[in-house]
Amino acid sequence: MYLSDPFDDLLICRLSEGRKAVEPCVIIIFGASGDLTARKLVPALYHLFKEKQMPPAFSVVGVARREKTDASWRTELRSALDRFSRTQPVDEAVWQDFAQHLQYCQGDLTAAATYEALRKRLAAAENELLRRNLLLYLATSPSQFGEVVEQVYRAGLLHKEGGAGWQRVVVEKPFGHDLPSARQLNQELTRFAGEHQIFRIDHYLGKETVQNIMMFRFSNAVFERLWNRESIDHFQITVSEKLGVGQRGGYYEEAGALRDMVQNHLLQVLSLVAMEPPVSLAAEAIRDEKVKLLKSIRPLSEGDMARQVVRGQYSAGIVAGEQRLGYRQEAKVNPNSNVETYVALKLFIDNWRWSGVPFYLRTGKNLPLSTSEVRVQFRRTPHVLFAAQCGQKLDPNALTLHLQPHEGISLRFNGKVPGTSVAVRPVRMHFSYDAEFGAYTPEAYERLLLEAMAGDATLFIRRDEVEAAWQFVDDIRRAWEHKPLTDREFYAAGTWGPVAAEDLLAQNGHAWREPLVVRV
């Protein structure tokens, strides 16, 4: 007998149907000749257009200093699509339609004349909504964010209160480099724009799998019931990169892994994994819970720093058969640099749900795999019935959320090995996004741009959230200041980090589990 797929009937909850319609608008990209525009923003807009998700009327106005015409900017972006579009080949007919919406406005961001030219250009739009609904995307250097917002405001293009239409400011990462600079930037921006108009990007939040953390937790009673200190032994959150710093040595010397990855992506994933259920799906309700969680991370005392924080820097080694330089030998890196390319942390969250449960976080460059995952390690069984046959300890159950690549979820449990003897070994059930839903996975920037146009701030970072994250990270940075790296803090490229990272877990009888390589 043929049974229809029972899941089809259950595809009932489409959150996008609850999204406000996207009104006609102009997307102004400040930094239109830069890498982010070519690599991420324009490919994302092209795909939204292709998927018919863009508003009925829109235009994209790019601002930068380099001399270009509309035509030459379009030609450059067209060839960038060949490199960066997630679908290949580029659909030429769709591109031709889309390209008609792209305009280039040459100008210096420090000159009032640039904003006057923009104002005149917008005023000429026939559609009234295209004169007042503006998405102002700051894809320039962070040191320019404050000035651009002020100038846009002074040109009458941004209304903090009471103006017609809507104006929103999308701010790229990094948002400050420590708590004082983040506070200062917040102050600069909020002089000219309300908090509800500021959309701070962490592109991790645009990833399907990161959004799925909430769906997974709050739509499956079977797991949410186990999501507490009674059932969970510890968490391991890994965001590892196979690449070294490459040509970005100059940037990395200012950032380091703590600022570049922990302050934003890892703490964001942690807050989604560990927060309490929000009272609704409203942006503020979710962000309230995330901030509450960040504020519940137990501050690290000086003694804790030594026991709970590990930093590392890669030395020369081999990654995937390729010889890699040590960090200090990379271009634009100080040969005596103490900048960390690896961080591992053991955190505790001081609330009822997570009391006593360690959260291990690690991130690094030149590691054996590029992967992001959350491993939830459950407690062991209180008694082992098969101890005589299998030993006193059975492998504990584990649930792994694979954020990238090979997006999916796997559950590891014990099963009987077929045969006449009693033998137990871990087996795995795996859900793969691609296998279940097909290969359509929008890029994070597609979702983020769409949400910003729709005015939904759920996937963007609120002011208090960014400040709470910096506060935590700054304490660690201060503890490292003036302490040169010791021999134990170096790791060979191609290994999983310094030995101290193993000790960090061994103190509690734990060990890092190698991220799962999913066969596809």
Ligand X SMILES: NC(=O)c1ccc[n+]([C@@H]2O[C@H](COP(=O)([O-])OP(=O)(O)OC[C@H]3O[C@@H](n4cnc5c(N)ncnc54)[C@H](OP(=O)(O)O)[C@@H]3O)[C@@H](O)[C@H]2O)c1
CB of 31 to ligand X, least distance (A): 3
Q: Which residue among 25, 105, 109, 409 contacts ligand X (CB under 6 A)?
A: 109
Closest CA to 200 of 451, 444, 462: 462
Q: Does 334 bind ligand X (CB under 6 A)?
A: no
CB of 96 to ligand X, least distance (A): 24
Contact range with ligand X by CB under 6 A, out of 34-42, 119-127, 159-167, 187-195: 34-42
Told to judge if 101 belongs to the known catalytic residues of this protein, a careful annotator would answer no
Closest CA to 395 of 374, 377, 420: 377
Contact code string over 62-81 relative to ligand X, x by CB under 6 A: --xxx---------------
Q: Give the other-Cβ count within 10 Å of 236's Cβ.
A: 23
CB of 173 to ligand X, least distance (A): 5
Q: Does 31 bind ligand X (CB under 6 A)?
A: yes
Find the largest Cα–Cα distance for the chain.
Answer: 84
Cis peptide before 89 (omega within 30 of 0): yes
CB of 214 to ligand X, least distance (A): 23
- Toward ligand X, which CB reaches closer, 112 or 429? 112
Question: 159, 234, 265, 402: which one is catalytic?
Answer: 265
Angle at 26 between CA 25 and CA 30, to 5 degrees: 145
Taking the chain, what is the end-to-end CA distance rounded to the nearest angstrom?
Answer: 31
- Toward ligand X, which CB reaches closer, 80 or 325? 80
- Toward ligand X, which CB reaches closer, 107 or 278? 107
Beta strand spans in 297-397 (E): 309-315, 317-319, 322-324, 342-347, 359-364, 371-378
Contact range with ligand X by CB under 6 A, out of 169-177, 325-333, 428-436, 455-463: 169-177
- Toward ligand X, which CB reaches closer, 30 or 480? 30
Q: Does 142 bind ligand X (CB under 6 A)?
A: yes
Q: Which residue among 96, 110, 228, 507 contacts ligand X (CB under 6 A)?
A: 110
Task: Please report, as a single letter, which amino acid is at residue 471.
Answer: Q
Q: Which residue among 76, 172, 340, 446 contacts ligand X (CB under 6 A)?
A: 172
Contact range with ligand X by CB under 6 A, out of 9-17, 69-77, 133-141, 227-235: 133-141
- Toward ligand X, which CB reaches closer, 32 or 343? 32
- Toward ligand X, which CB reaches closer, 108 or 224? 108
Segment 460-499, which members bind ligand X (CB under 6 A)?
none
- Contact between 374 and 235 (Cβ < 8 Å): yes
Handedness of CA 404, 268, 286, 132 (dihedral sign): negative
Q: Which residue among 51, 82, 97, 108 contacts ligand X (CB under 6 A)?
A: 108
- Toward ligand X, which CB reaches closer, 174 or 494? 174
- Toward ligand X, which CB reaches closer, 33 or 268? 33
Q: Does 146 bind ligand X (CB under 6 A)?
A: no
Q: Does 39 bind ligand X (CB under 6 A)?
A: yes
Q: Does 141 bind ligand X (CB under 6 A)?
A: yes
Contact range with ligand X by CB under 6 A, out of 93-101, 137-145, 326-334, 431-439: 137-145
What is the Cα–Cα distance from 93 to 138, expressed in whole angstroms? 29
Q: 243 forms bridges with which residues in the sheet? A: none
Q: How many residues bind ligand X (CB under 6 A)?
A: 21
What is the Cα–Cα distance from 368 to 134, expressed in whole angstroms? 43
CB of 492 to ligand X, least distance (A): 28
CB of 192 to ligand X, least distance (A): 18
Q: Give the other-Cβ count within 10 Å of 426's Cβ.
A: 13
Task: Please report, as a single letter, which amino acid is at residue 30.
Answer: F
For 255-288, give one letter per residue: b (16+ CB within 10 A) or e.
bbbbbbbbbbbbbbbbbbbbbeebeeeebeebbb
342-347: strand order across its sheet: 424-432, 408-416, 398-404, 371-378, 232-240, 359-364, 342-347, 309-315, 490-492
Q: Does 147 bind ligand X (CB under 6 A)?
A: no
Q: Does 248 bind ligand X (CB under 6 A)?
A: no
CB of 258 to ligand X, least distance (A): 16
Q: Does 33 bind ligand X (CB under 6 A)?
A: yes
Q: Which residue among 173, 265, 328, 346 contacts ligand X (CB under 6 A)?
A: 173
For 467-481, give one letter per residue: b (16+ CB within 10 A) or e.
bbbbbbbbbbbebbe
Angle at 285 between CA 282 and CA 288, to 5 degrees: 145
Give the residue nearest to ligand X (CB): 34
CA gyration radius for the chain?
A: 25
CB of 496 to ligand X, least distance (A): 25
What is the Cα–Cα distance from 468 to 86, expressed in whole angstroms? 34
Q: Does 254 bind ligand X (CB under 6 A)?
A: no
- Toward ligand X, which CB reaches closer, 110 or 486? 110
What is the Cα–Cα distance from 358 to 230, expressed in whole angstroms? 13
Catalytic residues: 265
Residues that bind ligand X (CB under 6 A): 31-36, 39-40, 64-66, 108-110, 139-142, 172-174
